[in-house]
Amino acid sequence: DQQVKQNSPSLSVQEGRISILNCDYTNSMFDYFLWYKKYPAEGPTFLISISSIKDKNEDGRFTVFLNKSAKHLSLHIVPSQPGDSAVYFCAASAASGTYKYIFGTGTRLKVLA
């Protein structure tokens, strides 16, 4: 049972345009969400997070939106740059689950120059 789903395995976007990566979850107990970015041959690195008390969190070119009623979150990158080409994982956790994060399968973003 995949509690965190990233239904798009890949996405291609032109440089300068907006990239939108989506993530859906099924467990209503999840209340903290993160996005990680992974380059080939490297481990995932933390990108941005959001708590369920918010519906938006912004950090530079990266914004995460959370729609709790739809159990959906999205990561917007604008403007997209070639260096953003990577695999993006969303992850979710619940206060009751403390240290455990549930990860999605990842979306491979390719930003075309």
Type of residue found at 109: L
Q: How many residues does the chain have?
A: 113
Pick the binder of other proteins from 8, 79, 103, 108 (CB under 8 A). 103
* Touching other proteins, residues 4-23 (CB under 8 A): 4, 6, 9
If the CB atoms of residues 32 and 65 are measured against other proteins, the closer one turns out to be: 32
Burial 41-74 (b: 16+ CB within 10 A, else e): eeebeebbbbebeeeeeeeeebbbbbeeeebebb
| Cβ 56 to other proteins shortest distance, Å | 17
What residue ranges bind other proteins (CB under 8 A)?
2, 4, 6, 9, 32, 34, 36, 41-46, 49, 51, 89, 91, 93, 95, 97-106
